[in-house]
């Protein structure tokens, strides 16, 4: 088997937060991959979009003998088309969702890898050797301004268009996933929605990932800490331990 030396152990926690009446985040955890999605569109539409997206991606990856970059792109495209279809059926034009996922995968030459893919501003962090790394780059207006030097990180946090994303599943033609292939070595990953990453600084995230061994307890603690702040948005955390067999 491709990943006979690597396995994953997972933990997940979610909350509507302190201001929202409903939770429009969705997630799936499996033995080869995990997915987190943050729905948008108002009323119940965001919850529909996120749940449809994670279900479609999970179904597609479940049926893949090997997960590679092409399989991930196909899965996201299938989810994109289904969210668009449901928007027409439910008369919820404009609904969509961000997506971030991590999977035990393979490279083009068949070597084992950890694939991380995202659309939108839900994030993946990697913690290894005592260091926290942000693997994904937000698909958002302010992140693009920061990357091009037109805005500082401090200015971005208070920018009036900080919540504008530039890619989403189910919104026009903007569903292309950005995929990174990481070494298939032991580490800890965090998948989260912006309801968590906007509330907690990187040092707090790193401290929790370093200090709490059980992934379920770590995910629960991250959500708890976010709820101790304003938590204006839904909050979801999935912690993935990539472990040697």
Dist. CA 71–CA 58, nearest whole Å: 11
Residue 163 has pLDDT above 80, yes or no: no
Q: How confident is the model at residue 1 (pLDDT cuts 50, 70, 90)?
A: very low
All domains in the chain, ordered by first residue: 6-135+165-244 (3.60.40.10)
Residue 211: name the closest of 133, 135, 127 by CA. Answer: 127
Q: In what order do the strands lie in the sheet with 235-244?
A: 6-15, 235-244, 187-192, 123-128, 131-134
| Sign of the CA dihedral with 26 first, then 176, 9, and 29 last | positive
Q: What is the mean pLDDT of the chain?
A: 90
* pLDDT (tens digit per residue) in 126-147: 999 999 999 999 987 766 665 6
The pLDDT tens digits for 17-64 are 999 989 999 999 999 999 999 999 765 699 999 999 999 999 999 999
b/e map 96-112, b = 16+ CB within 10 Å: bbbbbbbbbbbeeeeeb
Report the pLDDT averaged over residues 119-132: 97
pTM metric for this prediction: 0.93
Are the beta carbons of 57 and 30 closer than 8 angstroms? no
151 pLDDT above the threshold of 50? yes
d(CA 118, CA 134): 12
* pLDDT tops 70 at residue 149: no
């Amino acid at each position: 088997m491709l990943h006979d030396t690597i396995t994953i152990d997972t933990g997940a926690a979610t909350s509507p937060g302190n201001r929202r009446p409903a939770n429009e985040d969705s997630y799936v955890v499996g033995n080869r991959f995990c997915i987190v999605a943050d729905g948008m569109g108002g009323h119940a539409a965001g919850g529909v979009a996120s749940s449809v997206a994670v279900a479609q991606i999970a179904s597609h990856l479940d049926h893949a003998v090997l997960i590679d970059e092409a399989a991930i792109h196909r899965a996201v495209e299938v989810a994109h088309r289904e969210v668009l279809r449901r928007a027409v059926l439910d008369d919820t034009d404009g609904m969509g969702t961000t997506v971030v996922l991590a999977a035990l995968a393979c490279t083009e030459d068949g070597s084992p890898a950890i694939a991380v893919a995202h659309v939108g501003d839900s994030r993946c962090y990697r913690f290894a050797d005592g260091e926290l790394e942000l693997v994904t780059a937000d698909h958002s207006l302010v992140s693009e301004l920061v990357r091009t030097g037109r805005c500082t990180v401090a200015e971005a946090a208070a920018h009036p268009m900080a919540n504008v994303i530039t890619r989403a599943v189910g919104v026009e033609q903007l569903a292309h996933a950005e995929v990174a292939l990481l070494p298939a070595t032991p580490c800890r990953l965090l998948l989260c929605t912006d309801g968590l990453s906007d509330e907690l600084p990187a040092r707090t995230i790193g401290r929790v990932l370093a200090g709490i061994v059980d992934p379920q307890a770590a995910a629960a603690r991250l959500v708890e800490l976010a709820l101790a702040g304003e938590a204006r948005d839904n909050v979801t955390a999935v912690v993935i331990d990539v472990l040697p067999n």
